[in-house]
C-alpha cells in the first residue's frame, strides 16, 4: 500500500453535530495487506469517529484522519490549484477516498466511447444522500482550513459538483457494462480539492469496479 505524506498541521472539522451513514468503504485487510470491501451498513460516521449501530465494533470513515497536502498547479482545471487528499488511520493509508457505490433500477446507454448509467433518484436516495453529505463534510473541513490560514479574509464559495451530478440521475463511465443488468457496482474516487481565486470543490471520478 502506498505511503502518504501527512502535513504537520492536522485539519479538523469543528462541527460535531454533522454525521453521515456510509454503506461501504474501501479498507485494507490487516492479514494479507490487500484491499477489500468492508461492509459498514448502519455505521454512523461523525467527525469524532465511526461506530456501528449495533455497538459491536468501531469502523470506517473518520474525518480527523483526512489530510490535505500542499497545493500544486492544476493540470486539468485552468487557473487553479490541486490539493491532494490523503486518508490514514491505524488500518489503512490511501491517496484519496475510494468508495464502492451500488446503484439499482438503472438503464445503460452508449454515447461514443462512454457508457451512461441512468438511475431512479428515489430508489437510490440513501446512497446518494450519504455521498452528498460526505462531499459537504469534506468541503466544510477544507473551509475551516482556509478560514484559519487566510490572512486576507477573502471568502471562497464551495461548489458541490458531485452532488449536482448525482442528482442529475446519470453517471458517465469509460468502461463497458452489461446493458441487461438492473443494478451496478461502481467506484467513486475522491482525489482531492481544486481551488481557484473564488471557488473550491472536490476532484472526483467514477470507475468500473474491476478497472
> Each residue of 125-179: pLDDT tens digit?
999 999 999 999 999 999 988 877 765 556 889 999 999 999 999 998 877 777 7
Task: Report which DSSP code applies to 65.
Answer: G
Domain annotation covers residue 96:
yes
- DSSP assignment, residue 58? B
- Give the C-alpha separation, 114 to 202, whole Å: 22
Structural domain contains residue 93: yes
Q: Give me the pLDDT at residue 84, please.
A: 94
Name the residue range of residue 107's domain: 65-208
- Residues 153-164 pLDDT 10s: 568 899 999 999
3 is a domain residue: no
Compute φ and ψ for 90, nearest 5 degrees: -70, -20
Structural domain count of the chain: 1
pLDDT at 90: 84
Look at residue 56 and tell me if it is in a domain.
Answer: no
In a domain, 70, yes or no: yes
Question: Considering the domain boundaries, does residue 135 fall inside one?
Answer: yes
Amino acid at each position: 500500500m502506498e505511503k502518504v505524506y501527512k502535513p504537520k498541521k492536522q485539519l479538523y472539522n469543528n462541527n460535531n453535530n454533522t454525521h453521515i451513514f456510509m454503506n461501504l468503504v474501501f479498507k485494507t485487510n490487516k492479514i494479507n495487506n490487500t484491499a477489500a470491501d468492508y461492509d459498514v451498513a448502519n455505521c454512523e460516521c461523525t467527525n469524532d469517529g465511526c461506530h456501528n449501530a449495533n455497538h459491536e465494533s468501531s469502523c470506517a470513515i473518520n474525518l480527523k484522519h483526512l489530510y490535505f497536502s500542499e497545493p500544486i498547479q492544476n493540470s486539468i482545471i485552468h487557473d487553479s490549484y490541486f490539493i491532494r487528499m490523503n486518508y490514514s488511520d491505524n488500518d489503512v493509508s490511501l491517496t484519496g477516498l475510494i468508495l464502492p457505490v451500488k446503484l439499482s433500477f438503472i438503464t445503460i446507454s452508449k454515447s461514443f466511447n462512454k457508457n451512461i448509467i441512468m438511475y431512479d433518484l428515489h430508489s437510490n436516495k440513501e446512497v446518494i444522500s450519504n455521498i452528498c453529505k460526505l462531499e459537504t463534510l469534506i468541503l466544510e473541513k477544507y473551509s475551516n482550513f482556509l478560514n484559519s490560514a487566510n490572512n486576507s479574509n477573502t471568502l471562497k464559495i464551495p461548489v458541490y459538483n458531485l452532488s449536482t451530478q448525482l442528482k442529475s440521475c446519470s453517471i458517465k463511465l469509460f468502461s463497458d457494462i452489461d446493458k441487461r443488468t438492473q443494478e451496478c457496482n461502481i467506484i467513486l474516487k475522491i482525489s482531492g480539492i481544486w481551488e481557484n481565486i473564488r471557488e473550491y470543490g472536490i476532484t472526483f471520478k467514477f470507475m468500473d469496479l474491476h478497472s
